[in-house]
Structure formats: C-alpha cells, structure tokens
Amino acid sequence: MKSYETILIDKAGGVTTIRFNRPDKRNAMNPQLHRDMYDALTELEFDDETKVLVITGQGEAFCAGQDLKEYFYEKKDDPRGREEARRMSHAWRHQKLRYFPRPTIAEINGWCFGGAFTVVASVDIAVAASEATFGLSEINFGHIPGGLVTKVVQEIVQPRQALYYILTGEPFTGARAAEIGLVTMAVPKAELHAKVMDIAATLMKKDPEAMRACKEVFKAVTPEVTYEDAWYWLSSKSDQLTYRQKGGWIEEGIGRFMKKEYRPGLGTPPPEKERA
Ligand code: ACO
C-alpha cells in the first residue's frame, strides 16, 4: 500500500484502518486529504486483505470538518480549484465510502465538526467516545451545513434535534450524539478502540457477499422508493446474491441448519474445521 501525505493506513488481521493524519490541524480536511482519501478508497475497495474498514483520527481529533483556510479561504478567488476540491470531497465520502463493498466503521475519538458529519453518516457503524465533542459549527461563522451535511443529518438525526443543533451551533457530546441518532453508540473513550475491534470481529464472521448485499439494499431502498419497486429490487438482489455465492446461503446456511449444526437465530455457524 502506498503512503499518503494526509492519512495513515494500517492493515492487521483483516481490519484496515485509515487514520486522518493532520493532528496539528485537528485533522481538518484540506484538498490534499480529499485527494488522498479518494485514491486510498479506490485502492482498497477490492483489496482482499480488507474485510472491515475503520476510519479514525490521529491525536485528539476525529476530524474538525473542512479545512476552513485551505478548502474555503484560499480558494475564494480560485473557482477552478474550489470546484476540484468540492467534487473530490463529495466523491470520496458519498460515492466511495458510502458504497464501499466491505463493512465500514467510524471510530470517533475526539473533535467532530461540520463536514466530518458526512463521514460519520457514510459509514455503516459509527462508534463515538462518549467524551468526544460534536458540532454543526457552520452557523457560528455565518454559513450553512453545506455539501450534503444538511441532507444526511435530516436523514439520520431526529429532525427536531438536527434543526436545533444546525441553528444554535451548540457543541454536544458523543453520548448525546448517540441519543439523537447521529452515531450508532457511544462508549467511554478508554473502551472505544476495543469496542470497534469487537464489532469488526463480529462482522468478519459473516458471509462477505451477504454483508455487501445487505449494505447495498439498505442504502438503495430509501423511503422514496415505492413498496412495489422495493420488492422487485430486493428480489433481484436476492437472486444476484445466490449467483455471487454460488448458492451458499441455501446450501451452506440453511442446509447446515437443517442438519441441526447451528441455530441461525443465535449467531453464525462455526467454521467447517470445527464441525467434525
Ligand atoms: N480548518 C482549518 N484549520 C483548523 C480547523 C479547521 N476546521 N480546525 C482546527 N484548525 C487548526 C487551527 O487553525 C490551529 O492551527 P495553527 O496551530 O496553525 O494555528 C490548529 O488546528 C489547532 O486549533 P486550535 O483551535 O488551537 O485547537 P483547539 O484544540 O483549541 O480547538 C477546535 C479545536 C474546537 C476543533 C477548534 O480548532 C475549532 O473550532 N476548529 C474549527 C471547527 C469547525 O468549525 N470546523 C468547520 C466545520 S464546517 C465545515 O466543515 C464545512
């Protein structure tokens, strides 16, 4: 794996961790970070060693949002550069990360502001340190939560709470982020990494093709899709999964249940080698 200017990548036991690596700037996303993330996710999306992807921050911040100086201020008289940064920023979070073929987890270790909310929203599972500080700070500098921030908070956060934090810019804790639906759960910072690794271990035991299909259907069958369209879409996805797994879910999954080798209601089957 090549090295990058603004991110660190580490692979261990099936878990690939991408770490935003601008701790002196509280991991704010400058145009180079957007380029690096786009490139890294493109490399990793069909990487056999990556069973689960974790995104976190180096130092005391997860990500302080867009780099207010490099992304906005320095681009104010450079429409071409601004457009390039804007498109790259959108592409890695909403095209690459949101539809990453393997499960993704955000390990939110500290400061998390503005544009970083779309990183949180694009991953499958977001685990925050209860002590982390979140904020939609845009109103504090006279702006709106742009990019797709307003759209994603409307989708995942309780609407009254979302608008409150958009309008007040008031910071809130990781524990509060879990209460309002922004993150999946919050745990004490001392337990954060262990919890993320625990979830990653659970995800790695599942069938990767089924996992990918679960993600794809969940993200496709949005409330705007009619029941009839959703039904056709899910039926087709089920058939596609059968093709991708060569019938594995029927033969192996259901077949082993019928042989009374495990109870699907209580977990995944033990590996082949433990069966004898
Ligand atoms: N953009 C650019 N630089 C940043 C950002 C940012 N978003 N956040 C922090 N930095 C830089 C600071 O300019 C400073 O750089 P310097 O040492 O070269 O002067 C360095 O990071 C440390 O910042 P401090 O403010 O000294 O750090 P502190 O730990 O006291 O506070 C905090 C951290 C709360 C994150 C604060 O830096 C802050 O409010 N940052 C802005 C957060 C924000 O509003 N982000 C934008 C959201 S909106 C959007 O993403 C579109």
Which ligand 1 atom is the nearest neighbour of the CA of 147?
51
pLDDT of residue 274: 57
pLDDT of residue 270: 80
Concatenating the DSSP letter of every residue in 165-232 gives HHHH---EEHHHHHHTTSSSEEE-HHHHHHHHHHHHHHHHTS-HHHHHHHHHHHHHS-TTS-HHHHHH
Domain annotation covers residue 2: no
Q: Give how many domains the chain has, as a whole number.
A: 2
115 and 213, same structural domain? Answer: no
pLDDT of residue 276: 46
Lookup: tokens for 31: 């145009």
Edge-to-edge strands, sheet with 111-113: 61-63, 111-113, 133-135, 172-173
216 and 198, same structural domain? Answer: no
Q: Which of 25, 69, 75, 109 to mutate to test the pocket of ligand 1 (most atoms within 8 A of CB)?
A: 25
pLDDT of residue 236: 95
For 129, the 3-state DSSP assignment is: strand
pTM of the model: 0.95
Which ligand 1 atom is the nearest neighbour of the CA of 69?
2
CB distance 42 to 96 below 8 Å = yes
List average pLDDT for each run of 10 residues in the chain, which is 276 residues long: 95 98 98 98 96 98 98 95 95 96 98 98 98 98 95 95 98 98 98 98 95 94 95 95 89 91 90 58
pLDDT of residue 248: 85
C-alpha 126 to ligand 1 mean position (Å): 22
| Nearest CA, atom 10, ligand 1 | 25
162 and 228, same structural domain? Answer: no
Structural domain span for residue 142:
7-204
Domain annotation covers residue 1: no
For 97, the 3-state DSSP assignment is: helix
pLDDT of residue 269: 83
Lookup: tokens for 184: 């999946």
What's the distance, CA 62 to chain centroid?
A: 13
> Residues near ligand 1 with C-beta < 6 Å?
24-26, 28, 64-69, 111, 113-115, 137-138
196 and 245, same structural domain? Answer: no
